[in-house]
Amino acid sequence: YWLGRGPTARLLARHGGKTVGRLTRFVGKTAFYASFMIRNVPSAPFIVVNMAFGAARASFPGFLAGCALGVLPKTALVAFFGGSFMTAVSGDGVWTSVILAGVALAWLILMLWVRELVKRREASRGE
């Protein structure tokens, strides 16, 4: 995070363009939500994401809180369903496979719902 705050932020502001500017303003204003959301979708490695938040001048407490809470769902999935996944892959559990597919579907629906909320919020602000 802190590596992205200095020269990287100035470089991004100077050469980023309109789209990058919009993205950095969004991340800067909504550090907690952006940090929470990015931890729940496949994205770049942690170091790249953390530097991007620093370059976007996101508030550190918001970034840190979003990061801390954002990794919990993935960690819980791995902790609770890691063994079940291995059982399903080995072909031993039909019900395990059905449950895993249900959890994956619920996760996908939740992510699409959050994405729609963000789009509506952005549209209502006129950005």
Asked if the model's pLDDT at residue 44 lies above 60, the reply is: yes
The pLDDT value recorded for residue 99 is 76
Of the candidates 123, 30, 104, 15, the residue with the CA atom closest to the CA atom of residue 70: 30
**What integer best gives the mean pLDDT of the chain?**
79
The pLDDT tens digits for 53-78 are 888 888 889 888 988 888 888 787 77
One-letter-per-residue 3-state SS of the chain = CHHHHCHHHHHHHHHCHHHHHHHHHHHHHCHHHHHHHHCCCCCCCHHHHHHHHHHCCCCHHHHHHHHHHHHHHHHHHHHHHHHHHHHHHCCCCHHHHHHHHHHHHHHHHHHHHHHHHHHHHHHHCCC
- Mean pLDDT of the 107-117 span: 85
pTM value > 0.75 = no
Residue boundaries of the structural domains of the chain: 2-124
